[in-house]
């Protein structure tokens, strides 16, 4: 791994894994009922963040996407094998979490499947997948950007939980007491 990778335009860059990730995500959404999609993208109960924080997070995301678009995958190197393994684990976890989200009753919190181990398996799997891409391109900078993004996403997760408490009340409170926020810890 290197701090700053050589940037170049190419077909075997990190962007291809992002396209695969969002392509699989889009294919899943095709089979979602409209009520599940509306629930997935509902942000009505969440608070707004200050403009400076939003600009910081958007800047991080754009910087990371630039790295992915312009950095070749380290195909044939150990970091690629490790990164693609982590990426695959995250992608599979993300799709499984989406599947259980889709099948949950709309008027109840999602508590089945991976949601029995983590209150936020989609966010966790998404982050794991993108950490894997950062490793597969062999970039400490991209890895650090994703870690900072994960720290920023924690605030969004706190807001989501507050919105779920308001929407589902005691059932979500009981769920929060039983299930860790992330996975097996915290």
Per-residue pLDDT at 146 exceeds 70: yes
Exposed, middle or buried, 38 (CB in 10 Å: 0-12/13-18/19+)? Answer: exposed
What global pTM score does this model have?
A: 0.83
Sketch out the chain's domains with CATH numbers. Answer: 15-28+49-178 (1.20.120.1630)
pLDDT digits (tens, 9 = 90+) for 84-134: 999 999 999 999 999 988 888 878 888 888 888 888 888 889 889 999 999
Which of these, 70, 72, 98, lies nearest to 83 by C-alpha position? 72
How far from the centroid of its chain's Cα atoms is residue 160's Cα? 14
């Amino acid at each position: 791994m290197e701090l700053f990778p050589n940037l170049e335009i190419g077909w075997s860059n990190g962007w291809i894994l992002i396209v695969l990730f969002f392509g699989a995500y889009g294919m899943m959404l095709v089979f979602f009922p409209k009520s599940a999609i509306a629930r997935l993208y509902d942000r009505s109960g969440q608070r707004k963040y200050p403009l400076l924080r939003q600009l910081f997070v958007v800047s991080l995301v754009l910087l990371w996407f630039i790295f992915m678009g312009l950095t070749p995958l380290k195909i044939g190197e150990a970091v690629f094998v490790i990164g693609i393994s982590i990426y695959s684990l995250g992608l599979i976890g993300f799709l499984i979490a989406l599947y259980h989200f889709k099948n949950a009753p709309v008027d109840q919190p999602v508590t089945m499947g991976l949601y029995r181990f983590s209150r936020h398996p989609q966010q966790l799997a998404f982050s794991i997948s993108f950490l894997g891409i950062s490793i597969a391109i062999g970039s400490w900078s991209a890895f650090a950007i994703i870690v900072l993004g994960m720290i920023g996403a924690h605030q969004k997760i706190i807001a989501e939980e507050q919105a779920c408490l308001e929407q589902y009340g005691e059932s979500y409170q009981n769920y929060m007491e039983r299930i860790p926020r992330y996975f097996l810890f915290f």
